[in-house]
């Protein structure tokens, strides 16, 4: 599993809403 930092996410996904959806998706994968 790749280690992704918040900074990387912000750079690749400038849209905050998309970032939230991405974070929720990642959280589901991890748990």
pLDDT in tens, 1-31: 567 667 666 666 567 787 788 888 888 887 7
Report the distance separating Cα 28 and Cα 31, nearest Å: 5
Assess contact for 22 and 9: CB atoms under 8 A.
yes
Which helix (H) or strand (E) segment holds residue 1: the answer is none
pTM: 0.42
How much is the pLDDT for 19?
Answer: 76
The owner of tokens 């900074």 is: 7
Question: So where are the chain's domains?
Answer: 1-31
């Amino acid at each position: 599993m790749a280690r992704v930092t918040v900074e990387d996410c912000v750079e690749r996904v400038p849209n905050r809403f998309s970032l939230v959806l991405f974070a929720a998706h990642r959280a589901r994968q991890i748990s």
